[in-house]
Chain A
């Protein structure tokens, strides 16, 4: 009984539902990557997706902003079904920021230009305003002094913080994070997580795929455990980490060496 009844016990679950996944099915040829996913994301909430490799967490994120199409079920964003048409999808994508495991900064643009690129090309903002916004966001992620640097002259943690600023520059309603710290050195993970924590504290709605269990526990309002394309358990972090109700969750957490 995973479907729909996931509103109880949510810390900040009073906001409206921003994303609603209803029986989402995604196939790659004969392989079913998502096998009926039900999940609600409420305004202002941090929802963490955890689970073993290959269980479909990234796939769900990519379906959320239409980078992948789905074969079954539906995804509702701010009360409207995700469109299929490219132009309408672009409008939706502007409302969702996305941060990737491999940063994906544009190497031919400086940090500042990376952040102003979205406002410039997508929002058609003038150069001065876009630069101002970029400068403010770089300052917010603690990189004001790196504005003129190209990505090749930034550390991994710095690149990821620029990537967060780039996503924020579109003024999104939701931020999607796909393992934002998995490619980082242990020393720089903290700087990225603290930027994310700050965003969460400001009330940003966030969907975060992560292997950082301590982050999910501390910052997450809701945790969904994936296995083989399904959510096998979801609930507040207390439940998932201290009193998991399914064998799968217990297996996954003990595999990670999580001791509660």
Chain B
């Protein structure tokens, strides 16, 4: 068998645009799931009691439903339910966020709950209020403790963006499929895609690991 990687250079701009869309989708959905996850976790922990069953149901269902199903539902079903049509990119962003925020919420909750009660007691003893304690004492330590899990979540996010290809978001996987189909060189094209995903992910996981090792002591009480 002969490999001809010229197909990659021939479609360099097309594939590069896919990489750009993948990165953009990953960064945006990483940020929105993190933000949403924080809110969901805080609601679960400190929100009004009547809201908790809904929050728990949301988290449990998202962990039980495949991300592909959520994405496809967001793109094809949600517009019918709400009457709002969305460009594929936004549907992907929304679907990924709905799905990943549930995981982020569980990471945040576990992080907060892992800060031992003595820390809260010490802060209460100083006369601090509950919100001061959460913001100044518990969350800073909890966030440090969450870093490794956030690192994994971020890599899962990058990987999950590939699923957006099914709703025609022009990200790396979709562009690769197009090039592979036109050129009849799936081996070269998909090998390239694999390498690019690896190149995007490896620095992220390594970077988070290294950073965590440097700051871990800040969360160790």
Q: Is the CB of B121 within 8 A of A67?
A: yes
Q: Is the CB of B125 within 8 A of A67?
A: yes
Contacts of B130 in A (CB 8 A): 86
B127: nearest chain-A partner, CB-CB: A94
Instruction: Annotate B137-149 by CB proximity to A: 1 below 8 A, 0 otherwise.
Output: 1001100100000
CB distance from B173 to the nearest CB of A (A): 40
- Per the bound structure, the CA–CA distance linking A153 and B221 in Å amounts to 12
- A118 vs B124: C-alpha distance when bound (angstroms): 10
**What is the interface of chain B mostly: helix, strand, loop, or mixed?**
helix
Stretch at the interface among B38-46, B69-77, B84-92, B212-220: B212-220
The reply on B128 being an interface residue by CB < 8 A is yes
Give the residues from 98 to 122 in chain A that come closer than 8 angstroms, CB to CB, to chain B: 98, 100, 102, 104-108, 117-118, 121-122
Interface centre among A105, A117, A153 (most CB of B within 10 A): A117
Contact A108–B144 (Cβ < 8 Å) = yes
Task: Tell me whether B53 is interfacial, beta carbon within 8 Å.
Answer: no
> In the complex, A166→B218 CA distance in Å?
18
- Asked if A223 CB lies within 8 Å of chain B CBs, one says no
* CB neighbours of A122 from chain B (8 A): 126-128, 132
User: Contact: B122 with A106, CB < 8 Å?
Assistant: yes
CB neighbours (8 Å) of A170 from chain B are 126-127
A146, chain B: closest CB distance, angstroms: 15
- The interface residues of chain A lying within 8 Å CB-to-CB of B136 are 117, 121
Q: Which residues of B contact A153 (CB under 8 A)?
A: 217
Q: A170 CA to B217 CA in the complex, in Å?
A: 26
**Contact yes or no, A104 B118, CB < 8 A:** yes
User: A24 an interface residue at 8 Å Cβ cutoff?
Assistant: no
B118 and A102 within 8 A (CB)? yes
A117 and B118 form a contact (CB under 8 A): no
Residues 103-156 of B contacting A (Cβ, < 8 Å): 118-119, 121-130, 132, 136-137, 140-141, 144
In the complex the two chains form, is B218's CB within 8 Å of A150's CB? yes
CB-CB under 8 A from A11, the residues of chain B are none
Q: Is the CB of B118 within 8 A of A107?
A: no
Size of interface on B: residues with Cβ below 8 Å to A: 23
A91: interface (CB < 8 Å)? yes
Residues of A within 8 A of B118 (CB): 100, 102, 104
In whole angstroms, how far apart are the Cα atoms of A167 and B129 in the complex? Answer: 16
Taking a contact as CB atoms under 8 Å apart, the answer to whether B129 and A90 are in contact is yes
B122 and A104 within 8 A (CB) = yes
How far, in whole Å, are A170 and B130 apart by their CA atoms in the complex?
Answer: 18
Partner among A102, A106, A118, A150 whose Cβ is within 8 Å of the Cβ of B127: A118
Task: Evaluate contact between B126 and A107: CB separation under 8 angstroms.
Answer: no
Chain B residues with CB under 8 Å of A108's CB are 140-141, 144, 218-219
Chain A residues whose CB sits within 8 angstroms of the CB of B141 once the complex forms: 106-108
A and B contact pairs by CB, cutoff 8 A, 18 listed = A65-B125, A67-B121, A67-B124, A86-B129, A90-B128, A94-B127, A102-B118, A106-B119, A106-B123, A107-B218, A107-B220, A108-B140, A108-B141, A117-B126, A118-B126, A121-B126, A122-B132, A152-B217
Given contacts A104-B122, A106-B123, A152-B217, 14 further A-B contacts (CB under 8 A): A65-B125, A86-B129, A90-B128, A93-B124, A100-B122, A104-B118, A106-B221, A107-B219, A107-B220, A108-B144, A117-B126, A117-B136, A166-B126, A170-B127
A residues lining the B interface (CB < 8 Å) = 62, 65, 67, 86, 90-91, 93-94, 96-98, 100, 102, 104-108, 117-118, 121-122, 150-153, 163, 166-167, 170
